[in-house]
Amino acid sequence: MKLLEKYFLPSDYVKHFYSITPEYLKARGISAVITDLDNTLVGFDEAHANDVVINWFKTLNVHDIKVTIVSNGNRTRVSGFCDPHDIDYIFSAGKPLGKSFRKAVRMMDVEPSSTVMVGDQLMTDIFGANRAGLESILVLPVKKKDGWATLLNRRIERRIMKYFDRKGLINWGE
Ligand SMILES: [Mg+2]
């Protein structure tokens, strides 16, 4: 079962993306953030960024922490969210495949080891980040509801989460 931990256990987990502060990141030697969009920043059915999201990006920027959204969502979805706020992004990312993670790291001109992936899914965000040699932070999905493409991943994820829970590796405390 060591493989499950190697590939699917995040470096850390927090309930909400906005708990990830510049101080937290700097204490861990992180200078760049790749973040998922759907159900990480807003619900998958919410088209636009809200103030909490916008302020988080601003705060990271002010502290010289680079941020890129890497999403498996299509161009319309991701550009509609990012363009109004000048957020860098990669759409149709094909997570967990490594290509988009490597591209984001190149775009930000940082080292993989000083980059963290923030996301709500073990099967795409965390698995992909761990394989690409990034740090990873799991967050709780913003909404219970997922897009159809995520339903199978969630079934597998629930089994892995049960294992991590039994081993005391992840406990959301609720
Ligand atoms: Mg997501």
| Domain 2-166, CATH | 3.40.50.1000
Q: Three-state DSSP class for 137?
A: strand
- Does residue 17 carry a pLDDT above 90? yes
Distance 8 CA to ligand 1 centre (A): 15
Per-domain residue ranges of the chain: 2-166
Distance 71 CA to ligand 1 centre (A): 8
Distance 109 CA to ligand 1 centre (A): 24
Task: Name the band, by pLDDT with cuts 50, 70 and 90, for residue 174.
Answer: low
Distance 31 CA to ligand 1 centre (A): 22
Which pair of tokens denotes residue 152? 């199978």
pLDDT tens column, 123-158: 999 999 999 999 999 999 999 888 888 889 999 999
**What's the mean pLDDT when you consider all of the chain?**
96
| Region of poorest pLDDT, from 6-10, 31-35, 99-103, 152-156 | 152-156
